[in-house]
Amino acid sequence: MTEIILEIKKLISEYWKNIFAEVCDAVVYVDHCAIECLHWYTAGKGYLALKDAGAVAVYEFGMYHFRYVEVKDTKKAVIISTSGDPAFYQRTIKMILAKNTFQNCIVYCSVPCDTINHLGTLSAEEKLDYNKLKKDIKVWMTSGNLSQEPVVDIIYVPIFIALLNKDLFVTPPFGDLMPSLDTNIPKDTFVKLNFLAYSFYNLFDSIGAKLDIYSLGNLSDHLAKNLEDYMSSINHKSHLSETSEIGVSLILIDRTLDLCTPTSNNMESFLAKILRTFPHLPHHDNDVAINMSLLFGSVTEVLKSYEIPGCLASMEDEMMDLLISQKGKKLLNTVNQFLNDITLTKGSPKLRTPTRISGHSLEKLLSKIQSTNNIDSMTIHTEKLQCILAIIKASISQKADQIELLTSLEKLALQNLSVSRESSSILVQLSNIIRTRIHRGLDVENLLALLIHVYSLAGTQIRFSTQQERRLEESIADAIFEDFQILKESPLMNTKSAYQRNLLLLGGDDVAVAQETSCNIAARILDTLRLIAEQRLILQDYRSCMLKPSPQESTRYISILEQVTKDIFSVDISRELRDLHKKSSSFISAGFNLILGGKTKRHPRDNPYILIYVVGGITAEEAKVIQEVVSAHSNEKSPHIILAGSRLLNPLDIVDKIFFS
């Protein structure tokens, strides 16, 4: 594990240990983003960690929770929140305190007090003022007829990182950040960007890092500017004479510059297949729910805990590395070895290795183990069994055929665009596929992801004809209206996607209104696709995501992340990375740069560590590619690369965020 990750891990551990020290005999309220950070810190055992620390009860809380129960036998409340909205605290905490009579209340908040809002983006009512909130909480507590003065404390704790493995992390409180497709930045996005900048400043300051900041994209430029402002105003005053220990190049990249990669169904990384197969854990963006009841049969009172699904967070770093880097065949061999290891325990019958290892053959082996082993021997291997189940179920999922078809359509689009260029007929073919989607076992959401993929891949270098786009728009409008009719006749009982929720708003029983709205949505989708194609216009070196290595080799798509990483490791040290905008790390470096006419240019490789953060999220595939690039160029002088992003993405996440949020 690298020095910088060890320092970050120690810092996160310190934050949570300080919180655990205060939860004894208290009722704990935690918001969803803090729960997700705790979930990864405790390897999926967040609730148990709080209970083991002495919490009387643990509850989720949020802006739209309205049922907070009275908790007896405790006079202390601990609230852990990542929200920066004062209205959130006014509403939720007031409702909690109205139900209870607490003598002591501690609020751990990952957003700092309003004194750090030096950019002037918020009005007084929108700023999170710790002093005002503290006074309000005391008023709400005393209204419960307390016998003595209540004790209230509000503590800043920058909980915003979830470490997925030694070189990969996400930031759940900023999971909904996505750069807009135009240059306008909504106010709420700008405010979140400010909080993210301060969180990064606090993180790097705490671990003693000297930063060189680079940015790629409009939103990343703003994030870099905010971070630079914090470093200049705060560092200049209090840390000017200190010598930093860790040199870090922070590269910030807008997700929207490359929407081709997150909408691809390429499953070179098996983790991507798992993320597509299993549902998310409730209120989680970065972990999945693996049904463990298949291993333990019908649930009795003794086995009630096994109703809780398995998850990725409980897997060791080595296993997460394998899920990221390995293809299905190698992982199936790993699962076979795991199953054999389980049978080596006392009393287990020896397994016969199948001649051809597949998901189905391993499922049969697992079923045999389950039928011949007692519950105790199975529970010993719970964490390993979660991994086994995830790999087997992802291998035999019914979604596999659909994903295979979508992957073949991606390859068709790439071949068509690379060969035919302006005369490409790919939109005509996709229009026909949309019209015949039901017979092919495809749905509109996955086809919209494919369209994002195609337009992002084409960029502005390949223009589609007006006639083709008009035909595509008509096909989309018809498909949306057909889906609305289907949904109206057979309402879904389960959780609906953002697309399905939009369908329910089309026009009730008025067919004409529903058809007109379908056409309007289709027109908006085409406008959005054209904007997606224009995202890389601002770039000089990374305008294309298509690469033809040699005349003998076929064209493949190449992500911006892969291009940037390869350029960082390029042997041509003199080559300027023109699209990476460099920010000064301090007034001193800015001053020298000014004196020398801007000629002192540092390279990201000048530091021993490089952290690449993608605003909008990252994919398992990108984590795999980074591993491969680093491995191919690794030597003693090579910098260590860490990948991070707002969240883990799959194609449908992009569809929801780009079209329906």
**How does pLDDT run across 242-274, given as a tens digit for each residue?**
555 789 999 999 999 999 999 999 888 999 999
- Reported for 276-284, long-range contacts at CB under 8 A and 24+ positions apart, including other chains, are 276/394, 276/399, 276/403, 276/650, 276/651, 277/393, 277/394, 277/397, 277/399, 278/390, 278/393, 278/394, 281/39, 281/309, 281/311, 283/32, 283/35, 283/36, 283/60, 284/32, 284/36, 284/39
pLDDT in tens, 600-650: 478 899 999 999 999 999 999 999 999 999 998 877 788 999 999 999 999
pTM: 0.92
Q: Give pLDDT, residue 49.
A: 96
- Cβ neighbours for 435, distance < 8 A, ≥ 6 positions apart: 475, 478, 479
Q: Please, which residues have CB within 8 angstroms of residue 24's CB and are 6 or more apart in sequence?
A: 53, 54, 55
pLDDT of residue 1: 62
How confident is the model over 205-227, as pLDDT tens digits?
999 999 999 999 999 999 999 99
Question: Residue 315: CB partners within 8 Å, gap ≥ 6?
Answer: 323, 383, 386, 387
What length does the chain have?
Answer: 661
Nearest to 105 by CA among 147, 61, 49, 149: 149
Interval 162-204: pLDDT, tens: 999 989 999 999 999 999 999 899 988 998 999 999 999 999 9
